[in-house]
Chains A and B, each alone.
Chain A
């Protein structure tokens, strides 16, 4: 035996030498799977054009991700599924009849500006899809907020059917959300709202499809139940107790508020985005409740009928602050908070 041992090509690395099964692609592709039911419902009620919108969003998001990563000299990781999720989520919060270029602009903005300008996956402050939606709302207010038209698939949807002079069907108009108050528009029954047979964006109308997907993610451990429960629960409670400044038939109907608009999609798929939400359980609970509170405040006291998008974006903004005050408790006492030596 040699006194000075020679190397024999062994791998030397830090412990631990084993790792758990979770990785980024596994999480992302599971989320994609959980999003499928809501998309199928969208296709069913709004027609095949929504598939075009989804593909435009996903295609643009993936292409932008690859381009940004190449420009930044980083490995191209489009297979991890994260850009695909952004694309799908963006499509789900766009009008079913949206013109082709709007999804493209939105997806490029989401990935290039909201995600990669801040450093790519893991470093973005805001949910890319939601920030893109907010951007589109300012850039294209009319097609996003009103003037929704579905030409090819008016059958199943509860909407205003347009006929020509001879009574021939030429199309149908849907609108942004069941929360939109306009004369002549009625409220919707709970069953329609559960199945998704209501006006709304591509993937947000079916509470059942979204809850199914969301529960699956909770079961897989990728979504913490505190967020959707805190979010939906807060909306449910506050819409009962707070007086609304807008007079609507559904003003103090908590079930209507919970089922309408983007709440379910937001609570299960947007407010649960790992990157843009707090780290700890306590932080996530605060995040969910904060989203619910802001949603109700916007719906009741602002000029805009829907509040989910902005409430989540605002809570994303304060996520580092929430993190700061919800650090885990150090074993044996004290906090891990900045400066906290316990």
Chain B
């Protein structure tokens, strides 16, 4: 399947320059100083936002729950530091930009855990239900970027069977090295995390997929796995988006499912290696998710590195730690392919923040009409036609875009990367999805109004 017959891979995708990772690849994990003030956003996961359970003036301890899950697909949020709640203010969300209620915690004198946390458990004695509860209690979400609540992934809906767990150690986004450091410095915990997930789901087939440019991490994880017959460590072709669920599952198991479907359709559950670490911490040590390993890198910082940070740390603090250059002009949460450009450095990290990329002289491109070179069609790992989609979306022909499976697009950016005409294909697709969403909301509102009117008329 792979290009040279041994590396596993998928079809489509792109090969961005690989040397960008060397900026932070060999920088060992460094603990960032505790923030003076932590800004804890109450929307840190895909799904419903969390509901604050503390109020201004409350004293909180590290790891104490400060906001609770408000639905099944939602997650608890915990105090990243001990201190006092200064209030709940609105702050812009680093991904959506939406004004989000934020719990502001001023640091106190100690850094002690809240009672009942940081205690070793006997994992062997835990039932799947216990594991799910511990993961849920710890507020763990997918740390690969999408921030999908992890306990949901550990709860397959009735009728769906899971037979394979895959840990994503591909880290295919250029520049980012967080998962690499995780596997290099905490391989035992990562693999333990995988074993816990397998135990929870009753699955005996586990994989760790690692891109071939991280051979050291591959060796290290492999040596930790030892002769465990249930876990295989797979070397994957270096190709973006090797770490996306569809491509990872295709590469490792050969199974395919539609872009809009979840890995469950292929009997798989995929977790990021960093999530596996967090799950290990939560289950083995009862430590909630309050820390995040963040790669801060790019030519816009003096000291790129991999920093262990408390969630809710101001971006400004982190950037001064890495030495943001004065002429840096783009700050991205995430990698260069799917990351979100920040409006300012006044934001804070959230659970899903695994990387901050700072660019100098960030380029911009002039776009032209599509010259139909077909590179985007070749690059799309989901079998879409980005050329047509971009033309339909540009013309606001949403019907046409829908016919060409607009909603199946995962916005991985391969098409836009290869585009000869430098068309902002992903941007056009995002805008169309956004407009369609608003259109639908309007129609639904209209429908509701009509029904309400009918009822009023009927009651007269």
A interface residue numbers (CB < 8 A to B): 1-20, 22-24, 27, 77, 119-123, 222, 224, 274-275, 277-281, 284, 323, 327-334, 336, 338-342
Would you call A332 and B371 a contact (CB within 8 A)? no
Show 10 A/B contacts (Cβ-Cβ < 8 Å), sorted by A: A5-B91, A17-B332, A17-B359, A18-B337, A19-B416, A274-B372, A331-B246, A332-B258, A338-B404, A342-B405
Q: Does B118 touch A at the CB level, under 8 Å?
A: no
Point out the residue from B338, B341, B371, B413 that lies within 8 Å of A274, measured CB to CB: B371
Q: Does B422 touch A at the CB level, under 8 Å?
A: yes
Would you call B426 and A24 a contact (CB within 8 A)? no
Q: Does B381 touch A at the CB level, under 8 Å?
A: yes
Would you call A16 and B338 a contact (CB within 8 A)? yes
- Closest Cβ–Cβ distance, residue A215 to chain B (whole Å): 19
Within residues 81 to 118 of chain B, which ones have a CB less than 8 A from any CB in chain A? Answer: 89, 91-92
Would you call B372 and A122 a contact (CB within 8 A)? yes
Point out the residue from A13, A23, A278, A281 that lies within 8 Å of B420, measured CB to CB: A23
Contacts of A17 in B (CB 8 A): 330, 332, 336-337, 339, 341, 357, 359, 362
Q: Does B257 touch A at the CB level, under 8 Å?
A: yes
- Closest Cβ–Cβ distance, residue A294 to chain B (whole Å): 21
Point out the residue from A1, A6, A14, A121 that lies within 8 Å of B426, measured CB to CB: A14
Point out the residue from A13, A327, A342 that lies within 8 Å of B364, measured CB to CB: A13
- Closest Cβ–Cβ distance, residue B354 to chain A (whole Å): 15
In the bound complex, what is the Cα–Cα distance between A279 and B347 (angstroms)?
Answer: 42
In the bound complex, what is the Cα–Cα distance between A284 and B378 (angstroms)?
Answer: 13
Q: Which 7 residue pairs across A and B have the least CB separation, nearest first?
A: A5-B346, A122-B369, A16-B413, A14-B427, A332-B258, A18-B336, A17-B336
Whose C-beta in chain B lies nearest to the C-beta of A119? Answer: B369
Contacts of A278 in B (CB 8 A): 374
In the bound complex, what is the Cα–Cα distance between A163 and B190 (angstroms)?
Answer: 90
- Closest Cβ–Cβ distance, residue B372 to chain A (whole Å): 5
Contacts of B382 in A (CB 8 A): 330-331
Would you call A16 and B426 a contact (CB within 8 A)? yes
Would you call B422 and A1 a contact (CB within 8 A)? no
Contact A331-B385, Cβ < 8 Å, known A2-B346, A11-B362, A122-B370: no
Q: Encode B368-397 as 1/0 by CB contact (under 8 A) with A.
A: 111111110110111111011000000000
In the bound complex, what is the Cα–Cα distance between A218 and B259 (angstroms)?
Answer: 32
Q: Does B26 touch A at the CB level, under 8 Å?
A: no
Contact A329-B383, Cβ < 8 Å, known A15-B411, A15-B426: yes
- Closest Cβ–Cβ distance, residue B419 to chain A (whole Å): 7
Would you call B403 and A339 a contact (CB within 8 A)? yes
Would you call B369 and A121 a contact (CB within 8 A)? yes
Question: Which has the most chain B C-beta neighbours within 10 Å: A27, A328, A330?
Answer: A330
Interface residues on B, range: 35 or more
Would you call B369 and A120 a contact (CB within 8 A)? yes
In the bound complex, what is the Cα–Cα distance between A242 and B184 (angstroms)?
Answer: 67
Q: Encode B331-345 as 1/0 by CB contact (under 8 A) with A.
A: 110101111111111
Question: Which has the most chain B C-beta neighbours within 10 Å: A19, A121, A323, A341?
Answer: A19
Contact A10-B336, Cβ < 8 Å, known A3-B91, A20-B417, A328-B377: no
Point out the residue from A3, A24, A77, A277 that lies within 8 Å of B89, measured CB to CB: A3
Contacts of A339 in B (CB 8 A): 403
Would you call B404 and A12 a contact (CB within 8 A)? no
Contacts of A280 in B (CB 8 A): 374, 377
Contact A12-B383, Cβ < 8 Å, known A121-B369, A279-B377: no
In the bound complex, what is the Cα–Cα distance between A254 and B357 (angstroms)?
Answer: 59
Q: Does B421 touch A at the CB level, under 8 Å?
A: yes
Whose C-beta in chain A lies nearest to the C-beta of B368? Answer: A24
Contact A10-B258, Cβ < 8 Å, known A5-B346, A336-B385, A338-B404: no
- Closest Cβ–Cβ distance, residue B332 to chain A (whole Å): 6
Would you call B259 and A11 a contact (CB within 8 A)? no
Question: Which has the most chain A C-beta neighbours within 10 Å: B174, B339, B405, B411?
Answer: B405
Would you call B261 and A8 a contact (CB within 8 A)? no
Known: A13-B427, A20-B417. 20 other contacts (CB 8 A): A5-B92, A10-B331, A11-B362, A14-B424, A15-B338, A15-B339, A15-B411, A15-B413, A17-B341, A17-B362, A19-B422, A27-B373, A122-B372, A274-B372, A274-B374, A275-B371, A279-B377, A327-B385, A329-B383, A332-B259
Contacts of A327 in B (CB 8 A): 385, 404
Contacts of A12 in B (CB 8 A): 341-343
Would you call B408 and A330 a contact (CB within 8 A)? yes
Would you call A14 and B430 a contact (CB within 8 A)? yes
Contacts of B336 in A (CB 8 A): 15-18
Whose C-beta in chain A lies nearest to the C-beta of B378? Answer: A281
Point out the residue from B258, B314, B344 that lies within 8 Å of A333, measured CB to CB: B258
Contact A122-B417, Cβ < 8 Å, known A14-B426, A279-B374: no
Contacts of B387 in A (CB 8 A): 279
In the bound complex, what is the Cα–Cα distance between A336 and B401 (angstroms)?
Answer: 10
Question: Which has the most chain A C-beta neighbours within 10 Å: B259, B373, B419?
Answer: B373
Contacts of A16 in B (CB 8 A): 336-338, 413, 416-417, 426
Q: Does B28 touch A at the CB level, under 8 Å?
A: no
Whose C-beta in chain A lies nearest to the C-beta of B259? Answer: A331
In the bound complex, what is the Cα–Cα distance between A340 and B384 (angstroms)?
Answer: 12
Contacts of A13 in B (CB 8 A): 341, 364, 424, 427
Contacts of B246 in A (CB 8 A): 331-332
Q: Does B14 touch A at the CB level, under 8 Å?
A: yes
Would you call A20 and B418 a contact (CB within 8 A)? yes
